[in-house]
Amino acid sequence: MSEVRVRFAPSPTGFFHIGSARTALFNWLYARHTGGKFILRVEDTDKQRNTEEALRVLLEGMRWLGLDWDEGPDVGGDCGPYFQSERQPIYDEYLARLKDAGRTYEKEGAIWFKLAGERYTTYDEFKQAEVEKVKTQPVVIDDAVRGRVERSEEMDFVIVRKDGSPVFHFVNVVDDIAMGITHVIRGEDHLSNTSKHVELFQAFGATPPVFAHIPLILKQSGPGKMSKRDQGALIEEYAGRGFLPSAVRNYICLLGWSPKDDREKMDIGEIIERFDFPGINRGNARFDEQKLAALNAEYLRELEIGSFTFLVRPILAAKGVITEDEDEDYLQAVLKLAQPKARSLEDLPEYVDYFFQDDYPVDGKVAEKIAKKADPKSLVAEMLPVLEGLAAFDADSIKSALEGHAEAQGQKVFAYFPALRFAVSGQGGGPDLLPMLEVMGRERVLARLRRFIG
């Protein structure tokens, strides 16, 4: 079999929508799975919307997701240029070929594509027809996802507008031919265009590519497609919200594709190995923020602590939890405690705030709850001299000193823990208490205990 060549053909809009990202991703996966080529072709014929900025958002989004292209902007290739706005000479040449084959005509200043067989040329004629004019077979599309789809094109259509600009259907097909595209993987919203495209391929004497139309992505709840206003719709927003590209990419793979055993968390190598058309679902996919967040948390917990710290430092600095020059060792020690508990990077600043700030918020409900059992101030007052007397301030030493004290008082050591945690953090929960005290360090802990007693 000849080499697979797939393309992602976005029209930059200024946003990188999750639906587009999914189309890019599925094409990329298919290329990597088959050892073929992944081509990025920018369909920038709409001059108003195609700004530098719109292109930047798109390319950055793809790079963030780790989708590299073998041919396209920045990397070049044998079938360039890869911007439709620069391919006019190629369109002129292909238009001439259609003209020579007698498959075009001019009407009202526009150039029309003449369908094969005898068809209607105006909508009125189509509506008023008494005789069935369509004599040729309907177009049959053997879609790799949808199965057999039949559709008739009943009317000729415009391929070059009055102002000389070529229409989407025309340039899209010309480029797919000129770039040797073997498989067209795109959103289901394009299925209705496909019969026009097949007619054009045939008119050029080209074999149409294999089509694979992938299902829509529905919004989290209710009917309707995910729109750019829905939370989670824009790829460029994920980084700022503390999502890891590997987690987002893994999640997007699951929007319309699933491996046979329904596994969810998979590294990209495994997905590449298993990705194929039979695993693409026919039914619509539904965006699920909770599932994405859960996957992200799993990826976060797996990060090596140095990378986790690198990722979290700017987030904490932006929230004012730390300053830019916060000590790396202390930060890393704190994050080592927080990482196993982290559900998202968004929650993290609040979770670790008191490690860095002395004026942390105090949870009033926890205060009430603790006070019901015993006076926390007198418990802390008991513990203070024990901790002050410690030679080494590590978790084990703290533990045995407190155990010794509790035993002497005829108490369990756990009776002291809630008051101790509350005194140093203002919270009822958090990382494991003893390692947390060790990380906070003697000075900070003792100062807070003294302040607590007042």
Catalytic residues: 228
Residue 255 CA to residue 313 CA, distance in Å, equals 31
CA 143 from chain centre, in angstroms, equals 26
Handedness of CA 390, 395, 396, 400 (dihedral sign): positive
> Please, which residue, 58 or 379, has the CB nearer to ligand GLU?
58
Helix, strand, coil percent content, the chain, rounded in steps of 5: 50, 15, 40
> Please, which residue, 214 or 387, has the CB nearer to ligand GLU?
214
Q: Considering the complex, what minimum distance in angstroms separates the CB of residue 43 from ligand GLU? A: 4
Tokens representing 216 are 């829509």
Q: Considering the complex, what minimum distance in angstroms separates the CB of residue 173 from ligand GLU? A: 9
Are 133 and 144 within 8 A, CB to CB? no
Tokens representing 237 are 């927003």
**Backbone torsions φ then ψ of 21, nearest 5 degrees:** -60, -40
Residue 339 CA to residue 337 CA, distance in Å, equals 6
> Please, which residue, 202 or 344, has the CB nearer to ligand GLU?
202
> Please, which residue, 233 or 352, has the CB nearer to ligand GLU?
233
Number of neighbours of residue 350 by Cβ within 10 angstroms: 12
DSSP state letters, 370-431 = HHHHS-HHHHHHHHHHHHHT-SS-SHHHHHHHHHHHHHHTT--GGGTHHHHHHHHHS-S--S
Residue 237 CA to residue 408 CA, distance in Å, equals 56
Q: What residues line the site for ligand GLU (CB under 6 A)?
A: 9-11, 43, 172, 184, 186, 190
Tokens representing 34 are 């088959």
Whose CA is closest to 119, among 141, 99, 103, 96? 103
- Cis peptide preceding 138, ω within 30 of 0: no
Q: Considering the complex, what minimum distance in angstroms separates the CB of residue 330 from ligand GLU? A: 48
> Please, which residue, 211 or 356, has the CB nearer to ligand GLU?
211
Q: Considering the complex, what minimum distance in angstroms separates the CB of residue 357 from ligand GLU? A: 48
> Please, which residue, 9 or 420, has the CB nearer to ligand GLU?
9
**Backbone torsions φ then ψ of 280, nearest 5 degrees:** -80, 130
> Please, which residue, 194 or 296, has the CB nearer to ligand GLU?
194
Q: Considering the complex, what minimum distance in angstroms separates the CB of residue 193 from ligand GLU? A: 8
* H/E run at residue 211: strand 210-214
Q: Considering the complex, what minimum distance in angstroms separates the CB of residue 46 from ligand GLU? A: 10
Q: Considering the complex, what minimum distance in angstroms separates the CB of residue 143 from ligand GLU? A: 13
What torsion do the CA atoms of 17, 90, 39, 25 make, to the nearest 10 degrees? Answer: 20
